[in-house]
């Protein structure tokens, strides 16, 4: 299973990624978590990324590729991954495609977790009050949602033309979202297996 999870900030990607990784027995790789670890450890990548992250801007594509390449390659060899938060731009998706192709691992599924903007704002401000994540303040949250619309949403068109794209309604209780994701993924995998048999 090689799954890309796409969704706006606050849609519950991280929560669902952990659950799906457990269900399919593959690794969960979160670009945001890896970046936050660099920030906490004050590495040179962390120092460069921190400014972008606290403003709600994306970290440059090259930096993200550098920190993800090794974990993704290792996970691909061990049977797969759930990628959470990457790719986030069409440019990142194109680089990821080339890396995956070189590994002979280019067939993937993209899952879009859809949640309405008012619900996203509510969840993110709640999380900011609870966990103190510095990018979960009203101003930064709105900016992150705008960045998502401008840079990440175009990925949906990109993937619907190339790979299997599934849209899951994330505006429901966590367990329901997980159940629906697993059932839609099952159907998509079956459909694809059928198609490959027909071609073969």
Question: Does 5 contact ligand ADP by CB under 6 A?
Answer: no
Contact set for ligand ADP, span 137-176 (CB under 6 A): 144
Contact set for ligand ADP, span 89-118 (CB under 6 A): 92
Residue among 174, 169, 75 at smallest CA distance from 115: 169
Residues 44, 113: Cα–Cα separation, whole Å: 32
Residues 19, 13: Cα–Cα separation, whole Å: 10
Residues 6+ apart with CB under 8 A from 57: 143, 147
| 73 within 8 A of 99, measured Cβ to Cβ | yes
Q: Which is nearer to ligand ADP, 55 or 192 (CB)?
A: 55
Question: Does 59 contact ligand ADP by CB under 6 A?
Answer: yes
Task: Write down the least CB distance from residue 51 to ligand ADP, Å.
Answer: 10
Q: What tokens were used for 19?
A: 């659950």
Q: What tokens were used for 134?
A: 């510095």
Selected from 48, 52, 99, 105, the binder of ligand ADP by CB under 6 A is: 52
Question: Does 88 contact ligand ADP by CB under 6 A?
Answer: yes
Residues that bind ligand ADP (CB under 6 A): 9-10, 31-32, 35, 52-53, 56-59, 64, 85-86, 88, 92, 135, 144
């Amino acid at each position: 299973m090689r799954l890309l999870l796409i969704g706006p900030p606050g849609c519950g990607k991280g929560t669902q990624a952990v659950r799906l990784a457990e269900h399919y027995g593959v690794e969960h790789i979160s670009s945001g978590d890896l970046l936050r670890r660099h920030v906490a450890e004050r590495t040179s990548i962390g120092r460069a990324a921190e400014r972008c992250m606290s403003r709600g801007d994306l970290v440059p594509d090259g930096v993200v590729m550098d920190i993800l390449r090794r974990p993704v390659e290792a996970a691909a060899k061990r049977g797969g991954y759930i990628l959470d938060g990457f790719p986030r731009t069409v440019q990142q998706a194109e680089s990821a495609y080339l890396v995956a192709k070189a590994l002979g691992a280019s067939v993937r599924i993209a899952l879009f977790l859809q949640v309405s903007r008012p619900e996203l704002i509510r969840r993110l401000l709640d999380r900011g009050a609870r966990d103190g994540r510095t990018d979960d303040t009203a101003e930064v949250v709105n900016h992150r949602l705008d960045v998502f619309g401008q840079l990440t949403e175009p990925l949906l068109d990109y993937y619907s033309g190339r790979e299997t794209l599934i849209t899951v309604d994330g505006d429901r209780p966590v367990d329901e979202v997980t159940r629906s994701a697993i059932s839609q993924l099952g159907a998509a995998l079956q459909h694809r297996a059928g198609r490959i048999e027909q071609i073969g």
